């Protein structure tokens, strides 16, 4: 079991989040859990959101970071290409969720945006990456369209749907 204590932002070293091997993936996953606890604590300490809302935001960021960015893409979460948000929301989430729902996805995207705002505040990501991620997180009509198009796939239309928002190559 991983250490359940928050990872202080002063102890975050961006290069520690590089994923090259399965051992790295396991280590980075545990670090990410602790980092998300630090994000949670900062959001709670700011006092602008109810604890339940902070929990929802961190849960959404968790799905994106641990299940998609780290496990699926093998990216360093501080150096990911900004298109990862579109790939997550417009493809991965849809095919990996039993009943993809825009409301649930919007919660994930809000969590991603909040998380990367905290990362930027601590200098862990560039302001440009944070802004690109925030912009991708508000493209709800596009993601709603992708969900509707997914449910409307007929015959061999999956390939066309997939190719409109492809996932990164499997590592």
Helices (H), 14-137: 22-46, 51-62, 83-87, 93-95, 102-121, 127-137
User: Binning pLDDT at 50, 70 and 90, where does residue 170 land?
Assistant: low
Q: Which tokens sit at 99?
A: 């009943």
* pTM beyond 0.75: yes
- Position 82 in a domain: yes
Q: Which has the closest alpha carbon to 94: 168, 156, 144, 157?
A: 144
Q: What is the pLDDT of residue 54?
A: 92
Model confidence pLDDT, tens digit, residues 129-152: 999 999 999 999 999 999 999 999
- Position 139 in a domain: yes
**Is the pLDDT at 38 greater than 60, yes or no?**
yes
- Position 29 in a domain: yes
The total domain count for the chain is 1
Show the domain range for 23. 9-164
Q: Which tokens sit at 60?
A: 């959404």
User: Binning pLDDT at 50, 70 and 90, where does residue 1 land?
Assistant: very low
- Position 2 in a domain: no
Q: What is the pLDDT of residue 9?
A: 84
**Residue that the structure tokens 């990456």 belong to:** 129
- CB count, 10 Å around CB of 49? 14
As a whole number, the mean pLDDT across the chain is 92
- Sign of the CA dihedral 127, 130, 133, 138? negative
- Position 171 in a domain: no
């Amino acid at each position: 079991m991983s250490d359940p204590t928050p990872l202080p932002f002063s102890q975050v070293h961006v290069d520690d989040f590089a994923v090259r091997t399965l051992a790295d993936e396991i280590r980075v996953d545990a670090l990410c859990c602790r980092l998300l606890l630090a994000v949670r604590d900062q959001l709670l300490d700011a006092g602008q959101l109810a604890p339940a809302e902070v929990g929802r935001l961190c849960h959404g960021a968790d799905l994106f970071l641990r299940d998609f960015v780290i496990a699926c893409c093998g990216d360093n979460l501080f150096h990911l290409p900004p298109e990862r948000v579109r790939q997550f929301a417009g493809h991965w989430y849809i095919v990996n969720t039993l009943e993809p729902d825009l409301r649930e996805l919007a919660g994930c995207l809000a969590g991603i945006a909040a998380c990367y705002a905290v990362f930027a505040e601590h200098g862990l990501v560039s302001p440009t990456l944070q802004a690109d991620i925030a912009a991708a997180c508000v493209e709800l009509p596009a993601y709603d369209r992708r969900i509707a198009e997914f449910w409307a796939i007929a015959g061999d239309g999956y390939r066309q749907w997939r190719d409109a928002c492809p996932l990164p190559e499997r590592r």
